[in-house]
Amino acid sequence: MSAVSRVFTPGASVSARMRARVSAAADKLGYMPNVLARSLMTQRTHLVGIILANFNNPIYLTVLDHFTRTLQQRGLRTLLLNVSNENDLEAMSRLVLQYSVDGLVVSAGAISPFITEQCVKRAIPLVAFARRPRRGQLNVVCADNVAGGRMAARRLIDAGHRTFGFLGGPASASTSEERGEGFRAEIEEAGLTLNTSAHANDYGYEAGVHAARQMLSSAGCPDAIFCASDITAFGVLDVARHEFGRSVPDDLSVVGFDDVNLAAASSYNLTTISQPVEAMVTETIDILEGQMETWTGAWDTRLMACTCIERGTVRQ
């Protein structure tokens, strides 16, 4: 019945009488149009796939909050995929493509050529979120991690530190790598050297604990540590204070990354580099929406500026 369709299509021409009759019937029967059937004709599902790998870093709950909220405001729905345990990013993308999503955001390890090719072929806008794939036909929205690493270094250098340690996340993560890179660059340009550098298996608390034990009991033990994640930094702080009796920031300065909610808690009161999460999400969705309309044939890369949140774990 096309009359029904018109009533449920904003901006279609229906008489008031017809609209009333149909609405009444729909209400009575509890009728609701089936958007999936509709999508067959319109070629728009209003579904956006989000492929996520980090279900252990609380910052990603904030990320999801912003994503779902913003997508909803724009009439889009979130299809959430988890690739944290397995290595099957490709299998997941297969799944999501079968649902013919209108857009796809990937925040997970290696984004394979398979995904990018499929997306190009099907004209599905794809953005890598908080990751920076080496090369590829896709959009990128990412914090400027190199600059963030530099900010951390600058802050510590200005505080008068001369021995530095970097504690990264998983070696595979481009984010961690870039933060470390920027950190080292700024230090070396100041004529100083990065003394220790370590990688944790993940961005978690325990990883920080382990690494801190190593670092603090080693010979060239640094008096300034930059962690690629707040949670890891918490582990470092706890070990330094409770196991090594170090007083922060007097004996040791620590800088984190992300500005997680609890970073402001007085037990940690962590000085940290904050990513503009909300802006990153908005940017991502803007790109997605723009390319859903008209595909101009180019891919965007947006590096978003971080800010240094001054709190109490750096001296001076």
By CB under 7 A, tell whether 33 contacts DNA. Answer: yes
Tell me the three state secondary structure of residue 42: helix
By the 10 Å C-beta count (0-12 exposed, 13-18 middle, 19+ buried), 24 is classed as exposed
Stretch of residues binding DNA (CB under 7 A), selected from 35-43, 84-92, 231-239, 262-270: 35-43
Q: 108 is written with which tokens?
A: 């997970």
The answer to whether 92 and 81 are in contact (CB under 8 A) is: yes
By CB under 7 A, tell whether 267 contacts DNA. Answer: no
Binding partner of residue 41 among a copy of itself, DNA, none, CB under 5 to 8 Å per kind? DNA
Tell me the three state secondary structure of residue 120: helix
Residue type for position 28:
K
Closer Cβ to DNA, 95 or 279, answer by number = 95
By CB under 7 A, tell whether 264 contacts DNA. Answer: no
Closer Cβ to a copy of itself, 205 or 257, answer by number = 205
Which residues in 40-59 contact DNA (CB under 7 A)? 40-42
Write the CB contacts of 203 (distance below 8 Å, at least 6 apart in sequence).
Answer: 54, 56, 57, 169, 170, 228, 229, 231, 232
Which residues in 41-100 contact a copy of itself (CB under 8 A)? 45, 55-56, 58, 60-62, 64-65, 68-69, 72, 77-82, 84-85, 92, 94-95, 97-100
CB of 267 to a copy of itself, least distance (A): 4
- In the block, residue with structure tokens 């997306």: 119
Which residues in 144-183 contact a copy of itself (CB under 8 A)? none
CB of 260 to a copy of itself, least distance (A): 9
Determine the distance from the C-alpha atom of residue 274 to the mean position of all C-alpha atoms in its chain, rounded to a whole number: 12
